[in-house]
Copies of this chain bind each other. A is one copy, B any other.
Amino acid sequence: MEEILRQQIEKIVPLTDDEFQLVLSHFSVGKYKKHQYIVQQGNPVPYVHFVVKGLLKSFYIDKSGKSHILQFAMEDWWITDNQGFYNEQNATLNIDCLEDAQTYYITLENREKLCAELQKMEFFFLQKMTAGNIALQNRILSLMSKNSEERYIQFIQLYPDLIHRIPKTLIASYLGISRETLSRLSH
């Protein structure tokens, strides 16, 4: 399982065995069951999670009670409520497990410590954050410029693996359309 984290980091910066052990020592392992919440609206957000097994989603519940999925996270993905975590505020999002899951998680303090001890990790996080920005900007443009069907097709292209692991209802919620509309699209 550790290997997944190591490979994820080494896609961006090479690590010696010792360095990876140092990295690892700043993380903890968490195991969660399907339906379990790891972040809840209104509560603190102590960790960022790197998923090594399973599938999670982060979502926002609006004032009318409707739920909107911001992110899915499967193996090799990071997930947290960014606003809560980085600004040390209470969560505005919820995160729960769609499948039994295992993560490596880290606190803000340990993340900063790690970056101070191993400069290249700061570069790693900057690269990840940059890639995240690009993806988010593309999602915004997609929401603004594409209709339901185009967004669904794009989702299939971007995340072919997820289609078979996630109920259509949740994909609809991620795409910002109703489950009925999505049902009528998918032929």
A: which residues have CB within 8 A of B? 60, 62, 66, 68, 70, 82-83, 86-87, 115, 119, 122-123, 125-126, 129-130, 132-134, 136-141, 143-146, 176
In the assembled complex, the Cα of A141 lies from the Cα of B126 at a distance in Å of: 23
Chain B hits for A134, CB < 8 A: 82-83, 86-87
Cα–Cα, bound, A141→B59 (Å): 9
18 contacts between A and B (CB under 8 A): A60-B141, A62-B145, A62-B146, A66-B145, A70-B140, A82-B133, A83-B134, A83-B137, A83-B138, A86-B130, A86-B134, A119-B122, A126-B126, A129-B133, A136-B140, A140-B143, A143-B176, A144-B176
Nearest chain B residue, comparing its CB with the CB of A59: B141
**Copies of this chain:** 2
Residues of B close to A123: CB separation below 8 A: 115, 122
A22 to B159, CA, bound (A): 43
Asked if B133 contacts A70 (CB within 8 A), the reply is: no
Q: Which residue of B lies closest to A63 (CB)?
A: B145
Query: With a CB–CB cut-off of 8 A, which chain B residues contact A137?
Result: 70, 82-83, 136
Which B residues are in CB contact (< 8 Å) with A130? 82, 86, 129
Check if A144 sits within 8 Å of B143, measured CB to CB.
yes
Across the A-B interface, the 6 shortest Cβ-Cβ residue pairs: A136-B136, A62-B145, A144-B176, A129-B129, A68-B144, A126-B126
